[in-house]
């Protein structure tokens, strides 16, 4: 493990026992202590680069105070433009930010855009109540506009400050106001989330030692036979998954120990977004609670869901919620595949400026189009047994597609990514294009594809996840 990874591990490990202590603090003390701890972690790991995140917070606060009506669009522009400056600071003679500063900046960008949308919703609903004398129809919303101290506290809350998960300001406010946090579930769900972390960690270390990423960049690698080169991407993606499974499960445990994102099951919470229906916040009532709001990874479904489009929903789930609510609906395109492409482009930009991100993320729409074409032309014509076989083949290809795209994500450079894809003859791109061509030939028109696309648009709107 690298020194940076050890620091991340230390922060994650320390946040779990500390979280249980926060359950005994009053709301004002909890808010101040979480801010102080989060700011201390940020300063200790980011040093002078803490100023980047502070400027982002101040800029967002000014936008919200100046024009809440246009705050969502302005905050998105402000934070994303600052991300560009943040990644190009060396062009201005400034020192390059640390990896920790990058992690803080990424999560802060999500928070600030979400906050601007929440504030706008608060003012819109408030005006509706005044004009119609009717209670707001919003399930759960802000009760007042956050102060600068509130925004600062939310921005630098120690929970998930470098590792996620993303959570809205409303989730943070509910956490501060929990009536009896000591009575909420803690130890059992925390241990449940941590039980496989040692397994993920051990597999990460073991497989990474046998299949190091650096070997892909060597001349010796290109001398290996085709099947070895093809298999290598499967090993690399396995290492990639184990690393993030361990990190995100640990990060979720840190949220669980503090009680962040704990809501009654009947609230039907969604990762990132929180409750979707009205619920009783009374902890003395006979309620079952869950931590769906801060769930960032569904390891089983990531591995075993059938489709590429569904695989995205179970990976980095809180960020996927953010993309679905703030980017996907505002896409300049109507077709599902093109809207997905737009969303993936924004996601790639959020991750960084490395060409590998764009090569990987922008391959996803091609794979989705291939899936849609084959489902509309082949799967719909099969019986139950045939569809079952089709689904297994689709699952296998889905995993190979993610193996393939992961290489761009980890190699980063365009040259390294293209060199690797060339060594396996761009196999996934070719398979995807062949599926699209075959699908269009077999269905003899575009109606079937439009039906599949229409269904996917409905699912995206409703949040349906059925495979």
Residue, of 459 and 31, whose pLDDT is higher: 31
Mean pLDDT over 138-154 rounds to 86
pLDDT for the residue numbered 456 = 55
Tens digits of per-residue pLDDT, 245-299? 999 999 999 999 999 999 999 899 999 999 998 876 555 557 889 999 999 999 9
Residues 6+ apart with CB under 8 A from 12: 163, 247, 250, 251, 254
Rounded to whole angstroms, the maximal C-alpha distance in the chain is 75
Q: Does 142 or 98 have the greater pLDDT score?
A: 98
Higher-pLDDT residue of 456, 62: 62
In this prediction, residue 455 carries a pLDDT of 56
Structure confidence at residue 467 (pLDDT): 41
Helix/strand/coil for 95: coil
The Cα–Cα gap between 40 and 158 comes to: 9
Q: Is the pLDDT of residue 62 over 70?
A: yes
Reported as a single tens digit per residue, the pLDDT across 410-455 is 999 999 999 999 999 999 999 999 999 999 998 875 454 555 555 5
The reported pLDDT for the residue numbered 462 is: 40
Look at residue 192 and tell me whether its pLDDT is greater than 50: yes
Q: What is the mean pLDDT of residues 227-240?
A: 97
* Mean pLDDT score of the chain: 91
**DSSP symbol at 463:** T
Question: Confidence band (pLDDT; 50, 70, 90) for 127?
Answer: confident
Least confident window among 178-182, 221-225, 349-353 = 178-182
Is residue 392 classed exposed, middle or buried when 0-12, 13-18 and 19+ CB atoms within 10 A define those classes?
exposed
234 pLDDT exceeds 80? yes
Please state the length of the chain: 467
pLDDT of residue 458: 46
What is the rounded CA–CA span in Å between residue 363 and residue 281? 43
Please name which of 377, 273, 390 lies closest in space to residue 325, comparing C-alpha atoms.
Answer: 273
- Residue 142: predicted pLDDT: 83
401: pLDDT strictly greater than 70: yes
The pTM score is: 0.91
């Amino acid at each position: 493990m690298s020194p940076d990874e050890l620091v991340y591990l230390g922060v994650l490990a320390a946040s779990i026992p500390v979280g249980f202590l926060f359950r005994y603090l009053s709301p004002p003390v909890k808010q101040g202590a979480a801010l102080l701890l989060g700011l201390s972690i940020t300063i200790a790991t980011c040093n002078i680069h803490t100023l980047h995140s502070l400027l982002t917070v101040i800029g967002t606060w000014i936008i919200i105070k100046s024009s809440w009506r246009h705050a969502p669009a302005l905050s998105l522009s402000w934070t994303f433009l600052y991300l560009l400056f943040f990644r190009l600071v060396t062009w201005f003679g400034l020192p390059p930010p640390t990896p920790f500063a990058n992690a803080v900046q990424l999560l802060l960008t999500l928070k600030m855009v979400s906050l601007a949308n929440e504030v706008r919703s608060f003012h819109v609903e408030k005006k509706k109540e005044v004009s119609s004398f009717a209670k707001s129809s919003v399930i759960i919303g802000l009760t007042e506009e956050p102060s600068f101290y509130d925004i600062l506290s939310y921005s630098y809350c120690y929970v998930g400050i470098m590792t996620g998960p993303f959570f809205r300001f409303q989730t943070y406010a509910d956490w501060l106001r929990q009536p009896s946090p000591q009575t909420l579930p803690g130890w059992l769900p925390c241990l449940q989330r941590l039980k496989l972390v040692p397994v993920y960690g051990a597999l990460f270390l073991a497989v990474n030692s046998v299949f190091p990423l650096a070997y892909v960049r060597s001349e010796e690698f290109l001398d290996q036979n085709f099947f070895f080169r093809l298999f290598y991407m499967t090993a690399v993606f396995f290492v990639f998954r184990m690393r993030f499974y361990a990190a995100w499960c640990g990060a979720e445990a840190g949220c669980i120990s503090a009680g962040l994102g704990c809501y009654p099951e009947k609230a039907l919470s969604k990762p990132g977004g929180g409750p979707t229906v009205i619920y009783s916040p009374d902890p003395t009532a006979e309620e079952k609670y869950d931590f769906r709001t801060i769930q960032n990874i569904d390891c089983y479904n990531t591995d075993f869901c059938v489709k590429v489009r569904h695989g995205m929903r179970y990976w980095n789930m809180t960020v996927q919620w953010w993309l679905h609510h703030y980017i996907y609906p505002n896409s300049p395109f109507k077709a599902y595949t093109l809207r997905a492409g737009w969303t993936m482009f924004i996601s790639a930009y959020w991750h960084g400026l490395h060409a590998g991100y764009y090569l990987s993320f922008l391959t996803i729409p091609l794979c989705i189009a291939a899936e849609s074409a084959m489902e509309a032309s082949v799967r719909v014509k099969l019986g139950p047994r045939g569809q079952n076989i089709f689904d297994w083949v689709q699952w296998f290809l889905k995993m190979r597609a993610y193996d393939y795209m992961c290489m761009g994500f980890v190699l980063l450079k365009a040259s390294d990514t293209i060199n690797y894809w060339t060594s396996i003859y761009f196999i996934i791109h070719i398979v995807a294009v062949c599926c699209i061509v075959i699908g269009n030939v077999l269905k003899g028109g575009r109606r079937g594809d439009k039906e599949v696309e229409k269904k996917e648009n409905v699912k995206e709107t409703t949040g349906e996840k059925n495979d």
